[in-house]
Amino acid sequence: MSESTTLSDDITAAFGRACREKDWQIAEFLLQALEALSERDQADEQARRTRHLRLVFSSESRLIP
């Protein structure tokens, strides 16, 4: 059975290999991909927090007469 890895893990490994092989152009593209994943993850986290806060405020408003 193969080990399950995330896309981020795979890109990080490829980035490390590109650096070891001194393939700076590919390393730069892979770094940009990692940055894009990070930005997406941060946006997803912010959206999750916003949904949670809306739920909390909605619940509280129903409790207060």
Domain of residue 30, residue span: 7-63
* Helix-helix angle 24-63:7-20, to 10 degrees: 150
Query: One digit per residue, pLDDT tens: the chain, 65 residues?
Result: 456 889 999 999 999 999 999 999 999 999 999 999 999 988 888 888 888 888 887 776 666 66
Residue 17, pLDDT score: 96
| 1 in a structural domain | no
Residue 51, pLDDT score: 85
| 32 in a structural domain | yes
Residue 28, pLDDT score: 95
Number of domains in the chain: 1
Residue 19, pLDDT score: 93
How much is the pTM?
A: 0.66
